[in-house]
């Protein structure tokens, strides 16, 4: 809760600084140029985030393929750790992109209000990243649990196969 309040305070101070700068330099062309710069910055952030959302399932899908085809349990566990690492990077990246996008959006809203233009819409795909992360974590846990249970049942299956124990 304190973290949210501190972020709100940071955003408020940044907006105050931007508002002071705008009131000092009330030249219309300068404001319009800054608005164009903000739109380009926000588009850059969005493009990078969407590229990340495309790249993430490719890496995780390949990891799942390797996890399912792994022969030994050690290899499966190492791949699982890799997937957890990728997921951790995904969460960190998504939160960083979200904070950058909201910072740019706040500045853009301030400039849009100053110019009397329509406010930009804040939707930008953060939920899609979080949903893909949750689905990936769930699949990873299910697959590794299945692999572990198959590994634990393997000695029993070998004993039954050799005829020492009846099924």
Domain ranges of the chain: 2-161
Please give the DSSP secondary-structure letter assigned to residue 120.
P
Question: What's the rounded mean pLDDT across residues 110-121?
Answer: 74
Given a contact cutoff of 8 angstroms between Cβ atoms, the answer to whether 114 and 28 are in contact is: no
pLDDT at 148 over 80: no
Give residue 141's pLDDT.
Answer: 80
The answer on pLDDT for 157 being more than 60 is: no
Task: Provide the pLDDT for residue 78.
Answer: 85
pTM of the model: 0.53
Average pLDDT over residues 30-53: 78
pLDDT of 164 above 70: no
Q: What are the Cα distances from residue 52, in Å, to 59, 93, 126, 128?
A: 10, 9, 11, 11
Average of per-residue pLDDT across 64-83: 81
Average pLDDT over residues 111-131: 71
Asked if residue 135 has pLDDT above 80, the reply is yes
Q: How far apart are the first and last CA of the chain?
A: 57
């Amino acid at each position: 809760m304190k973290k949210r309040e501190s972020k709100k305070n940071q955003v408020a101070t940044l907006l105050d600084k931007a508002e002071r700068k705008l009131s000092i330099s009330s030249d219309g062309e300068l404001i319009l140029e800054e608005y164009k710069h903000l739109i380009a910055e926000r588009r850059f952030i969005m493009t990078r985030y969407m590229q990340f959302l495309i790249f993430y399932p490719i890496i995780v899908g390949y990891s799942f393929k390797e996890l399912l085809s792994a022969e030994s349990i050690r290899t499966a566990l190492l791949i699982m750790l890799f997937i957890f690492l990728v997921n951790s990077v995904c969460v960190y990246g998504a939160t960083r992109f979200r904070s950058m996008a909201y910072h740019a959006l706040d500045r853009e809203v301030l400039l849009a209000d100053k110019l009397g233009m329509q406010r930009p819409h804040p939707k930008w795909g953060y939920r899609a990243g979080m949903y893909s992360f949750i689905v990936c974590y769930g699949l990873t846990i299910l697959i590794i649990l299945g692999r572990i249970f198959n590994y634990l049942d393997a000695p029993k299956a070998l004993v039954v196969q050799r005829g020492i124990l009846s099924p």
